[in-house]
Amino acid sequence: MKRKHRRLVLVLAILAAVMVSTALVLLAFRDSLVFFYGPTEAMAQQIPEGRRFRLGGLVEQGSVLRDSDGLGIRFRITDLNQQVAVNYRGSLPDLFREGQGVVAEGSWTAANLFTATTILAKHDENYMPKEVAESLKNSGKWRGAETGKAE
Amino acid sequence: MKQFTNPKTIVKWAELLQPVAGLMAAILIMVGLYYALINSPADYQQGQAVRIMYIHVPFAWLATMVYGIMAVVSAVGLIWQHPLAHLACRSAAPLGAVFTALCLVTGSIWGQPMWGTWWVWDARLTSVLVLFFIYLGYLSLVRAFDNPLKGEKLAAILVLVGSVNLPIIKFSVDWWHSLHQPASVMRLGKPTIALPMLIPLLLMVVGYMSFFVYLWLMNFRAAVMERKNYLKEINRPQME
């Protein structure tokens, strides 16, 4: 084997080793690499009350109730399989609305009741002008989050 | 093959291509900015804030693309030991680092109004921050030795090892739940971005790429001259 070929094999071998070991590490830390749990996962995990975690999903259509003082809000986060009721007091990001993706940071305060201290909006990968979005909705071809399609 | 890899030919091409890339960058970025900032529709969800996309996304693509280029030329330098490969790598590195920093800053400025936060430790944001640190690591390692050839060789190994981060950045939004949304353009199937927004985005991307090529060739030509002087210096017979 020429020296050049030996170096080629060496470089490829190092690359393969680095990739395999990185893949193993990422696989091992899979649970801590997710930014949030969906409702189904969050319920299955049996996280104790008071421990902080992030809960993500869609704001369920028709579930948003605002307190009369305008600061408190209650809604449900859904993954279209399970729903979790969420309580929150504080300011909301501009993109927060029913049908929109959302990530809430907080903890269980009762069975199936999540109290959030921070609300982040998650927007999807669709970009379009308003008129296009409206005509898609009118023609029934809308496939975005607002009809409740999971990501 | 030999005639294309001849260092003299490569330097000559670099000299020819540099002004072409500069002109392309100026035209494309000016036209792109006009469409991006003035003559393109607001987004149905994000409104006018979507315009940050036309600045942010090209920086993000460039950040990873420049690293990809550095990985390829580093492999060429290590395996075939082409005399210009490591010079091409070290002249791209500071540009990649700046693009990555600008990607992080513009992303943060976009994240605040849209997501409600400047920064989160989700997989996409964290892996891009790691990319920035790898760039910084390269820049300090390549300068850490008195003999530049030695520093370049070690730094090239760092680039290859760090290239494992590229697929992690790309697929982070698919492999793990993240706050960052999945890909809109570089995906299987049609882009999920409307044409009047896709066109200014692509104009900006190609404009940024040309701008990178312009600066890269400029750095590269300077690095080649510097290397010639250095080699002349160390090969000069010692006169006592």
Rounded CA Rg of chain A: 22
Residue whose tokens read 């036209």: B31
pTM: 0.89
Residues of chain B contacting residue A118, judged by C-beta atoms under 8 Å apart: 116-117
Q: Judged by CB atoms within 8 Å, which residues 20-79 of B form the interface with A? A: 41-46, 50, 53, 75, 78-79
Bridge partner list, A115: A87, A107
In this complex, do A11 and B160 lie within 8 Å of one another by their Cβ atoms?
Answer: yes
Count of CB pairs separated by less than 8 Å, A with B: 124
Distance CA B207, CA B54 (A): 11
SS (H, E, C) A75-113: EEEECCCCEEEEEEECCCCCCCCCCCEEEEEEEEEECCE
Could you give the count of Cα atoms lying within 13 Å of B3 in the half-sphere of its Cβ? 0
Nearest to B142, CA basis, from B199, B210, B43, B219: B219
> A147 pLDDT exceeds 70?
no
Neighbours of B145 (CB within 10 A): 14
Mutate to test the interface with B, among A34, A125, A142 (most CBs of B within 10 A): A125
List phi, psi (to 5°) of A105: -110, 130
Q: What sign for the dihedral angle of Cα B167, B169, B173, B177?
A: positive
Which residue in chain B is spatially nearest to A41 when comparing CA positions? B177
Q: CA-to-CA distance for B174 and A33, rounded, in angstroms?
A: 12
| pLDDT band, very low/low/confident/very high, at B149 (cuts 50, 70, 90) | very high
Instruction: Report whether pLDDT(B237) > 80.
Output: no
User: Any residues with CB less than 8 A from the CB of B188 and at least 6 apart, and which?
Assistant: none
Q: Which CATH class is domain A34-147?
A: mainly beta
**Looking at the complex, does the CB of residue A121 fall below 8 Å from at least one CB of chain B?**
yes
Q: Taking the domains of chain B in order of start, what are their residue ranges? A: 56-183+198-227
Residue pointed to by tokens 């060429």: B76
Give residue-wise pLDDT tens across range B90-141. 999 999 999 999 999 999 999 998 898 999 998 999 999 999 999 999 999 9
Contacts of B199 in chain A (CB under 8 A): none
ipTM: 0.81
pLDDT at A143: 60
Segments making up each domain of chain A, as ranges: 1-33, 34-147
Q: What is the pLDDT of residues A63-98, one digit of tens each?
A: 898 888 778 899 999 988 889 999 999 888 888 888
Q: Which residue of A has its CA nearest to B175?
A: A34
| pLDDT score at B240 | 54
Q: How many CB atoms within 10 Å of residue B100?
A: 26
Residues of A in contact with B115 (CB under 8 A): 93, 95, 120-123
Query: By mean pLDDT, which of A133-147, B164-178, B204-218 is the weakest?
Result: A133-147
**How many angstroms separate the CA atoms of B93 and B135, rounded?**
7
